[in-house]
Amino acid sequence: ATKLMAGKRGLIMGVANDKSIAWGIAKVCAEHGAEIAFSYQGETLRKRVQPLADQIGATELIECDVSQPESLDALFDRLKQVWGKIDFLVHAIGFSDKNELRGRYVDTSPENFRMTMDISVYSFTAACQRAAAMMPDGGSLLTLTYYGAERVMPHYNVMGVAKAALESSVRYIAEDLGKDGIRCNAISAGPIKTLAASGIGDFRYILKWNELNSPLRRNVTQEEVGKSALYLLSDLGSGVTGEVHHVDCGYHVVGMKAVDAPDI
């Protein structure tokens, strides 16, 4: 089979365990010949990420808390030291106090608003600044978003506001870095049961609703997000930038509950 990522090196941020969307992307890219470095949030996660990295022969496993600028600097300094340059970056990171991922958005606290924006929005821009400096031959930057950026979804609240800002930042970054041959895109994934998703109120109900009402009448898998990421990260996506690409079994086109869908 054609190896679409042969000769490409990149950083994948946000693997927490084997359910992570970042891991789904890593597996598909590795199958296509990419050489991958991982960053993980803290030492307690290392024991989960290490065996996954081993599974695909990745040797660079670097701790990085994106809320700390020094931690981001150390991550990219290390990559510069070992690889000099990179071809792609995947940012699959988001965080908010789970007490605010239920109830009303309007009750959001200023502290959690700032923290959510910092970790879920600014960290992508901060990573892009540093990654772009290591992309002399161009490259591809990718982040993960959700439909709650565009429409009100139950319990998504401040995270929806953050994802809207993240999607906007994708467009600004695409314009800023396009001249350097660097593309920037987002995948808007349908709901998937992960660690981060378990913080969202009534998540099982949301999964079931999407399963019953999306055009494909099922939910997406990590691997399907991985396959779409492969397109955006490889030369297949060479003409695509500033895009928010939905990988959600078509849910975003639906305007009303399907007539054949049972009530849940």
Under the binding rule (CB under 6 A), the answer on residue 41 touching ligand NAD is yes
Under the binding rule (CB under 6 A), the answer on residue 226 touching ligand NAD is no
- The secondary structure of residue 134, as a DSSP letter, is T
**Per the annotation, does 158 bind a ligand?**
no
Residue in 4, 10, 11, 14 binding ligand NAD, rule: CB under 6 A: 14
Bridge partners (DSSP) listed for residue 245: 187
Q: Which is nearer to ligand NAD, 50 or 67 (CB)?
A: 67
Under the binding rule (CB under 6 A), the answer on residue 92 touching ligand NAD is yes
Residue in 10, 160, 191, 226 binding ligand NAD, rule: CB under 6 A: 191
Q: Which is nearer to ligand NAD, 2 or 44 (CB)?
A: 44
Interface with ligand NAD by CB under 6 A: which range of 4-12, 20-28, 106-114, 236-244? 20-28
Residue in 30, 170, 184, 192 binding ligand NAD, rule: CB under 6 A: 192
Under the binding rule (CB under 6 A), the answer on residue 82 touching ligand NAD is no
Under the binding rule (CB under 6 A), the answer on residue 18 touching ligand NAD is no
Under the binding rule (CB under 6 A), the answer on residue 101 touching ligand NAD is no
Binding-site size, ligand NAD (CB under 6 A): 27
Residue in 195, 236, 258, 264 binding ligand NAD, rule: CB under 6 A: 195
In angstroms, the CA 14 to CA 127 distance is: 12
Q: Catalytic positions, please?
A: 146, 156
List, as residue ranges, the binding site for NAD(+).
14, 20-21, 41, 65-66, 93, 163, 192-196
